[in-house]
């Protein structure tokens, strides 16, 4: 097998995992932010509805981040298929992504689909 193909495949493997890791880090950062916002709102001197709109927007951002993560899984899956064809299976253990994870939808899309079906 061509050394260039092997080098490209290894680089793509490294970069997709890096992108997936960054997506996870973004989700973790938003979860920490939400936790801090909710903790701050529990202060007895703060009204219970304080920051509700901000929490809704953050939840929407989390949904978009999860959608991005799902799309990166789809990219990873497609790259794995390309590697099987062009790298001839010499790339070690293939990544196995369950189809249910590739079909996962963020809450906003699930609600929209349910609304359309009703």
pLDDT of residue 100: 76
pLDDT of residue 97: 73
**Contact of 48 with 63, CB cutoff 8 Å:** no
pLDDT tens per residue, range 37-83? 999 999 999 998 999 999 999 999 999 999 999 999 999 999 988 88
What is the number of domains present in the chain? 1
Q: Is the pLDDT of residue 89 over 70?
A: no
pLDDT of residue 90: 52
Cα four-point dihedral sign 51, 64, 108, 70: negative
Prediction pTM value: 0.73
Contacts of 32 (CB under 8 A, 6+ apart): none
Give the residue numbers spanning the domain of 9: 3-117
Contacts of 7 (CB under 8 A, 6+ apart): none
Q: Is the pLDDT of residue 106 over 70?
A: no
């Amino acid at each position: 097998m061509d050394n260039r193909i092997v080098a490209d495949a290894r680089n793509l493997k490294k970069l997709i995992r890096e992108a997936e890791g960054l997506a996870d880090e973004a989700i973790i950062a938003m979860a920490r932010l939400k936790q801090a916002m909710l903790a701050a709102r529990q202060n007895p001197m703060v009204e219970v509805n304080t920051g509700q709109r901000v929490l809704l927007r953050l939840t929407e951002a989390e949904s978009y981040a999860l959608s991005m993560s799902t799309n990166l899984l789809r990219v990873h899956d497609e790259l794995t298929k390309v590697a099987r064809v062009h790298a001839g299976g010499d790339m070690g253990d293939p990544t196995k992504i369950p189809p249910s994870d590739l079909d996962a939808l963020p809450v906003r899309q699930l609600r929209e689909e349910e609304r359309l079906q009703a």
